[in-house]
Amino acid sequence: MAQYRMLLEYDGTEYHGWQLQPDRRTLQGVLETALATALRHPVRVAASGRTDAGVHALGQVAHLDVSTNLPAEALRRRLNDELPADINILAAAQVPHRFHARHDAVARRYLYQIARRRTAFAKPFIWWVKEPLDLTRMQAAATSFVGMQDFQSFAAKDEDGGDKSTLVLVERLDVTSHGDLILITIEGSHLTGDFEAFACN
């Protein structure tokens, strides 16, 4: 049994988030189906975090345990041959069995793009705000989110009835301008609770 670390990119437009759901197309479901086809046996994949419906990834980490002697690069190519065009494995590497994509994550980074004008391109990835936006005031407001914060008001209800912490250490929140785009970058470490709790769409 070998363990592999994978780095994925995907367009989440057509998916109901990462996690397996009955009768819904999810990234984990499509990935595990492709793996079962490529390796001819069922494989379970664990990700660094669960994403919501419509969320995209530029570099999400996942890991899997498989009964194969394939080199990591051969596994990556074989898996990409089975995956749809909106999911791509960027890299794969064999790792020690103690590695866990979620538990070993030291930070997560989110990028939000806001357009200040109508655009014909990249509409699934950009939010067009018609009203005038004050970049300076947005940058000033962003500083109040940095540090240890409680994001309970952003968190979805815990259907498992658990008592998950909503405290998150936000290490960075940058608001920058790039042409007609405003880019908001949020980075935080998974110190307590689930960082995904405040990852809004």
Q: Which two tokens stand for residue 81?
A: 């041959």
Which letter does DSSP use for residue 119 in this model? -
12-51: pLDDT as tens digits: 999 998 898 989 999 999 999 999 999 988 989 988 888 8
Known active-site residue 52: yes
Q: Which of 69-83, 90-104, 182-196 has the highest mean pLDDT?
A: 69-83
Can you read off the two tokens belonging to residue 170? 């936000």
More confident residue, 158 or 144: 144
Of 11, 23, 52, 86, the active-site residue reads 52
Tokens 């990119």, located at residue: 9
- List, in order of start, the domains of the chain with CATH numbers: 2-94 (3.30.70.580), 108-198 (3.30.70.660)
Q: Quickly count: other Cβ atoms within 10 Å of residue 94's Cβ.
A: 13
3-state secondary structure of 128: strand
The token duo for 155 is 């968190």
The pTM is what? 0.79
Which of 131, 113, 133 lies closest to 123 in space, CA to CA?
Answer: 113
Element (H, E) at 74: helix 72-82
